[in-house]
């Protein structure tokens, strides 16, 4: 039972980390696109 709880805890932490990394990547891509648009004008 303790092992199952530990696995769930690690799984949740992993998904939170993945979500954060995905959010940062999306944010950086948006900034990159914005900068490219400014340079092309």
- Does 41 score more than 90 pLDDT? no
- Does 28 score more than 90 pLDDT? yes
List the one residue out of 27, 8, 30, 29 whose CA is nearest residue 19.
27
Which two three-digit tokens encode residue 15? 């998904």
Which pLDDT belongs to residue 5?
94
The mean pLDDT of 4-17, rounded to a whole number, is 95
Sign of the Cα torsion 14, 19, 25, 27 reads negative
pTM over 0.95: no
Which pLDDT belongs to residue 30?
96
List the one residue out of 27, 34, 19 whose CA is nearest residue 11.
19
- Does 18 score more than 90 pLDDT? yes
């Amino acid at each position: 039972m303790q092992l199952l709880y530990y696995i769930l805890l690690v799984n949740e932490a992993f998904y939170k980390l993945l979500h954060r990394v995905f959010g940062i990547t999306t944010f950086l891509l948006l900034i990159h696109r914005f900068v490219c648009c400014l340079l092309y004008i």
